[in-house]
């Protein structure tokens, strides 16, 4: 059985350092790096299997693709697809769970270590000549902080939150977490607390919860006011979890010490976003998931999802 397969926006998954062989082995494959909304119908016409990362698949799109039987989202989040319309049309929609856990945890700690040691800043100062001819054998231009004994607060204690907790424990940090429901059989070094307690006591706060209608913008003026003035906020979850103007105000006024963000409410970042110029705010361009190792896993799971569907045993179904 060979089917027509179309990838609408494959560039972020594979900018040229991976192969599409596992998916192309399953049918006739056409890969587009990027697809504008006006080009979706032409490119997807006749496709039986469609892969998308960020291209939005609406009810109207689904209604006009009668051959379509499978939509594979090349990510964990699947809000880009109208899953209700897909279900009504008998189309299977799958996602890619748990492919980037270690990569995201690693970037969260890269932000934490940046605040603790400012390696890039000091390396640049050395390159610019600040160490050459210095009166002392060493210098530092920001406080140098040891993580041992500091409190790491994790909001959302799923796979990624627990991976971050494990690193924190290895660093000698006290780990507390908040989760929307009580967690059972957790690691002995992690303690569940209320959100208010976490905000009040944490030196570093890592946001790792999913975005829902109930928690959009929950990091705002009120919750930021509960944080310590020398605490740091890390977000590798979803941008809309934070009220960006409130966070910028808190950073610029010194109500908190800094923020490390891998996600924003609108991506790519737009000019005028107050966080782009906020004090001590470090923003990375949504790269937590993007290690080559994680993308290799993603590609493999995407191929496995389609293969399982073709064999009549679909997995990772979200429709």
**Catalytic positions:** 238, 267, 286
Residue indicated by tokens 């290799």:
296
Closest alpha carbon to 277 in 306, 241, 245? 245
Name the pairing type of β-strands 92-94 and 281-283.
Answer: unpaired
Tokens of residue 179, six digits: 């989760």
Q: What is the DSSP string of 105-121?
A: HHHHHHHHHHHHH-HHH
What residues have CB less than 8 Å from 216, skipping those under 6 apart?
Answer: 240, 241
What lies within 8 Å, CB to CB, of 62 at 6+ separation is: 68, 82, 85, 86, 89, 91
d(Cα 307, Cα 319) in Å, to the nearest integer?
Answer: 17
């Amino acid at each position: 059985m060979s089917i027509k397969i179309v990838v609408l926006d494959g560039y972020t998954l594979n900018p040229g350092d991976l192969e599409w062989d596992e998916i192309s082995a399953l049918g006739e494959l056409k890969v587009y790096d990027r697809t504008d909304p006006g080009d979706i119908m032409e490119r997807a016409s006749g496709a039986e299997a469609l892969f998308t990362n960020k291209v939005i698949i609406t009810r109207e799109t689904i209604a006009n693709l009668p051959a379509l039987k499978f939509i594979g989202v090349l990510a964990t989040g699947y809000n880009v697809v109208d899953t209700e319309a897909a279900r009504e049309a008998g189309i299977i929609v799958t996602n890619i769970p748990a492919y980037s856990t270690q990569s995201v945890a690693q970037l969260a700690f890269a932000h934490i270590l940046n605040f603790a040691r400012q390696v890039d800043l000091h390396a640049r100062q050395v390159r610019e000549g600040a160490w050459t001819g210095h009166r002392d054998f060493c210098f530092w231009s920001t406080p140098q902080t040891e993580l041992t004994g500091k409190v790491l607060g994790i909001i959302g204690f799923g796979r990624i939150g627990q991976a971050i907790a494990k690193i924190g424990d290895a660093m000698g940090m006290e780990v507390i977490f908040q989760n929307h429901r009580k967690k059972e059989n957790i690691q002995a070094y992690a303690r569940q607390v209320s959100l208010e307690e976490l905000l009040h006591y944490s030196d570093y706060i890592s946001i790792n919860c999913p975005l829902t209608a109930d928690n959009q913008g929950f990091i705002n003026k009120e919750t930021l006011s509960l944080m310590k003035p020398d605490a740091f906020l890390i977000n590798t979850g979803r941008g809309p979890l934070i009220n960006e103007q409130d966070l910028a105000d808190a950073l610029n006024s010194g109500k908190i010490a800094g923020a490390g963000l891998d996600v924003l409410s609108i991506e790519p970042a737009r000019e005028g976003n107050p966080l782009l110029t906020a004090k001590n705010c470090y923003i990375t361009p949504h790269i937590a998931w993007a290690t080559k190792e994680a993308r290799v896993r993603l590609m493999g799971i995407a191929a496995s999802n389609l293969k399982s569907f073709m064999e009549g045993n679909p997995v990772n179904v979200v429709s």
